Amino acid sequence: MRTLRTAAALLLSLLTAAALLVGAPSATARAGDPQAAYPRPDFPTAASPGPDGRVLFTDRAGRVLEPRGFNLDKYDETTEADLRSIADRGFTLIRVAISWDRLEPTRDHYDQAELAKLQRLLGWADRYGLLAVIDFHQDVYGPAFGGGDRGIPPWATRDDGLPFVPDPNDWFAGYFQPAVQAAFRHLYDDADLRRWQADFYAHLARELRGHRSLLGYDLFNEPFGPVNGDPSDPAVLAASAGALEQGRLAAMYRRLITAIRAVDQRSWLFVEPTVLVGEGVPTQLPGFTDPRPGAPRLGYAPHFYDTAVENGADWNPADGFIEQYTAAITAYPRAHRMPLLVGEWGPPNSRTPGNTELVRRQIAAMAGFADAWTMWYWCQGTGGYCALGTDGQPAPGDGPAFGPSAVALAGRPEHESWAADSYTVTFRASGDWSELAAPPTARITVTGVGADRVTVDTRRPGHPWVKLPRGARATLTITTGTGA
């Protein structure tokens, strides 16, 4: 951590020459001590449309929460130090990929050692003030098709004896193999597989429901299903995806929502569209009913990947990907009043010029349609999606993902923007405390009506608090000056 800025330095940074008052946030602002290293995570209790059209998470005090963070690709390899580092950098969200085959390797037999690892991980999230989304993950259905420990167990795999020929140069092509197509069809259609899947979801929800860090569940990672025709024809793919979302997949989500709600009425439940949203194809998912008492806690969790980049290309900013994706993604969550969490995004190598620009453009775009995101993924390396370099610092090109932000905003954002070294939000203040994420040397500036009565508390390094009087309409900017 860099040296904490003095109150005098912060005073000079206020563009309006507003008076800087240092005081402790009120006890009602947030459960936990703001001076504590890792206070309790703010849990979103509701969601409502904001002035900019997004559906926003809010806490009990009405503050807007915008969780951001990273996927943890393998929970058994994640250490306590990883979660502490994520929290220290100002992030508040992790997405934890789990797979049915590892946790229930045989029917009705749950691997207690695997469950203990998952419980331990959520315990660390509890400790460091993080929220966690459990991702029911699958890749090419499951390990029966060479996907490792990635999904539906072999004992729940029915392929009708059809062929499966993997393509070593294109793992995604496995989805179109006859055996995989049959397996998905059986999972959606067979009464016993439906029941077993629902039992697994309910069992896991019962195991994990005591964790205060548990935000909720991403119900099915990158759903896929039968393709009726030539998969190389975009029209065939779009029609098949639409039929899946309106029929079999929607029915699956209803079953799984019911199963989890039987044991957990607190968590948020997120539905995913098919991966065709990345091609600019709007989802055909219907709306869903949440059987919990009170307001629904249902969200939308698409992924944000460019196909050419996924296949190894450097991003071409002229390909229209950002614009087409944004146009395809916004209508559904707004129509159904669902917060949007981008569950996965980020290029496999952010170091190339086009992909560096892609990260910057994705961050800027998500400010307009997403309330939360988790980048793929938290690891150290020289590529392969690793968000950190070998030195533990943000990987070259991924800097914008590590920029400053508002963790809990006491007011409704009218306009927000993110960049590698700055965050700006214009909002009408509710009179409560806002919690920010910014390095101790960051410059905080406040302009607008009421800015002369701002109060700033900087006693928790990296997590300043700011308070404006109720009704103030101000623009808050955090600038780090790093450009990284």
User: For 446-482, how does the pLDDT look when each residue is reduced to its tens digit (9 = 90+)?
Assistant: 999 999 999 999 888 888 999 999 999 999 999 987 5
Using the Cα atoms of residue 344, residue 348, residue 350 and residue 355 in order, give the sign of their dihedral: negative
**What pLDDT score does 273 carry?**
98
Joined tokens for residue 399: 């800097």
- Judged against a pLDDT cut of 90, whether residue 132 lies above it is answered with yes
- Direct distance between the N- and C-terminal alpha carbons of the chain, in angstroms, rounded to an integer: 16
Q: What percent of the chain has pLDDT over 70?
A: 90
Number of H helices, E strands in the chain: 12, 21
Joined tokens for residue 90: 């100002």
- Judged against a pLDDT cut of 70, whether residue 236 lies above it is answered with yes
- Judged against a pLDDT cut of 90, whether residue 48 lies above it is answered with yes
CB 405 within 8 A of CB 68: yes
- Judged against a pLDDT cut of 50, whether residue 33 lies above it is answered with no
User: For 85-124, how does the pLDDT look when each residue is reduced to its tens digit (9 = 90+)?
Assistant: 999 999 999 999 999 999 999 999 999 999 999 999 999 9
Lowest mean pLDDT among 153-157, 167-171, 239-243, 431-435: 167-171
**What pLDDT score does 458 carry?**
87
**What pLDDT score does 36 carry?**
58
CB 332 within 8 A of CB 345: no
**What pLDDT score does 38 carry?**
65
User: For 153-196, how does the pLDDT look when each residue is reduced to its tens digit (9 = 90+)?
Assistant: 999 999 999 999 999 888 899 999 999 999 999 999 999 999 99
Q: How far is CA 227 from CA 246, 329, 374, in A?
A: 14, 22, 29
Q: Where are the beta strands (DSSP E) in 381-464?
A: 405-409, 411-418, 422-429, 433-437, 443-448, 455-457
**What pLDDT score does 383 carry?**
83
Q: How confident is the model at residue 13 (pLDDT cuts 50, 70, 90)?
A: very low
**What pLDDT score does 336 carry?**
97
How remote is the C-alpha of 378 from its chain's centroid?
13
In the chain, the domains with their CATH numbers are 1-52+417-484 (no CATH), 66-409 (3.20.20.80)
Joined tokens for residue 279: 């091609």
Cβ neighbours of residue 43 under 8 Å, at least 6 residues apart?
59, 131, 212, 215
Tell me how far apart the alpha carbons of residues 309 and 332 are, in angstroms, rounded to a whole number.
26
- Average pLDDT of the chain to the nearest whole number: 90
User: For 335-376, how does the pLDDT look when each residue is reduced to its tens digit (9 = 90+)?
Assistant: 999 999 999 999 999 999 999 999 999 999 999 999 999 999
